[in-house]
Amino acid sequence: MVLDATFWVAVSFIIFLGLLVYKKIPQKVNSILDKLISDIKNEIDESEKLRTEAKKLLDNAQKKLDMAQPERKKILEDAKKDSDKLIIELNDKFHKSSEIKKHLAENKIGQMKEAAIKEIRDASIKIALDSVKKVITTSVDKSKLDILFQKNLDEAKEELNKINS
CA–CA dist 113, 107 (Å, integer): 10
Instruction: Report d(CA 151, CA 64) in Å as an integer.
Output: 99
What does R_g of the chain's alpha carbons equal in angstroms? 61
Residue 140 is classified by DSSP as: -
pLDDT of residue 54: 94
Which of 158, 156, 109, 152 is CA-nearest to residue 132? 152
- List phi, psi (to 5°) of 12: -65, -35
DSSP string across 28-55 = HHHHHHHHHHHHHHHHHHHHHHHHHHHH
**Is pLDDT of 133 > 70?**
yes
Predicted TM-score (pTM) of this structure: 0.38
When pLDDT is averaged across residues 136-141 and rounded to a whole number, the result is 63
Q: Could you report the per-residue pLDDT of 51-82, keeping only the tens digit for each?
A: 999 999 999 999 988 888 888 888 899 999 99
Nearest one of 14, 21, 18 to 6, comparing CA atoms: 14
Output the average pLDDT for the chain: 86
Delimit the domains of the chain by residue range: 40-164
Residue 152 has pLDDT above 60, yes or no: yes
